Amino acid sequence: MRDETGDAIAALHALLDEADSIVSFTGAGVSTESGVPDFRTPGSPWMINKPIPYDAFVESREVRIEAWRRKFAMDDHYRGAVPNSGHRALARLVAEGRSPAIVTQNIDGLHQAAGVPEDKVIELHGNGTYATCLTCGWRHELASIRPVFEATGEPPACAICTGPVKSATISFGQAMPQEAMRRAQMLALECDLFLVVGSSLVVYPAATLPVIAKRQGAKLVILNREPTELDAVADLVIRAESGVVLGGLVSRAR
């Protein structure tokens, strides 16, 4: 039997070897092998509750309480998630200087946990591993918020300015982080290989990044379990679990 995935992995290695500037763009699929649920999977906790719009969070104490209750329930779902071989392979590309940064739709912090410096992870949807004050921007740690929330039932307020404190993720109805989007677009414009890992590329404007890269002449590789709308314009499409495919890169010298 011909090993189509094996052929595709060989083609991926060849493209990676040719490239001087690789930008990885990751979605939920890179983290499912770490036990982080994909919010689009039927039956996942994200599908049971309607997302809480940003404005409702700001305006209502009751909504903030509900948001924090859900947040900690969700955290318990993937407590102990650690980077998998996909995260480690992408981290290695950064460490070797072959990739200037990773652009991610994920909020799980697993790229950083795999050793990628904070300033080289561009988070389009924010980060769920800490919280920020919506008024003054001060960072608050979940470990100190949770016991107080569970003891008092009150939503956390900023110790500096008393403003509402929210998980540092981008909520439904909240503006995309402009600086992160600007940096991601610059990377798409300057790379010579744009590597999509575990994203079905349906969330805009983030999904325009592969198109930007492709138009300026970069090669486009899509590694995802499901078909995507950009498969037809990609130079290489691999439909497989990302950790399995990228794991081979970790043990392989250039």
Sites of contact with Zn ion (CB under 5 A): 133, 135-136, 138, 158, 160-161, 163
Smallest distance from Zn ion to CB 242, Å: 38
Between 131 and 195, name the residue whose CB sits nearer to Zn ion: 131
Q: Judge contact between 213 and 228, C-beta under 8 A.
A: no
Between 81 and 133, name the residue whose CB sits nearer to Zn ion: 133
Q: What 3-state class would DSSP assign to 37?
A: coil
How wide is the angle at C-alpha 91 spanned by C-alphas 81 and 189, nearest 5°? 120
Measured distance CA(177)–CA(165) in Å, rounded: 17
Q: What 3-state class would DSSP assign to 20?
A: coil
Between 137 and 227, name the residue whose CB sits nearer to Zn ion: 137
Residues 6+ apart with CB under 8 A from 42: none
**Token pair listed for 254:** 């250039």
Q: Judge contact between 130 and 118, C-beta under 8 A.
A: no
Active site residues: 125
Q: What is the DSSP code (8-state) at residue 137?
A: -
Q: Judge contact between 26 and 201, C-beta under 8 A.
A: no
What are the backbone angles phi and psi of residue 224, rounded to the nearest 5°?
A: -155, 150
Between 47 and 136, name the residue whose CB sits nearer to Zn ion: 136
Smallest distance from Zn ion to CB 64, Å: 14
Smallest distance from Zn ion to CB 142, Å: 16
Smallest distance from Zn ion to CB 132, Å: 8
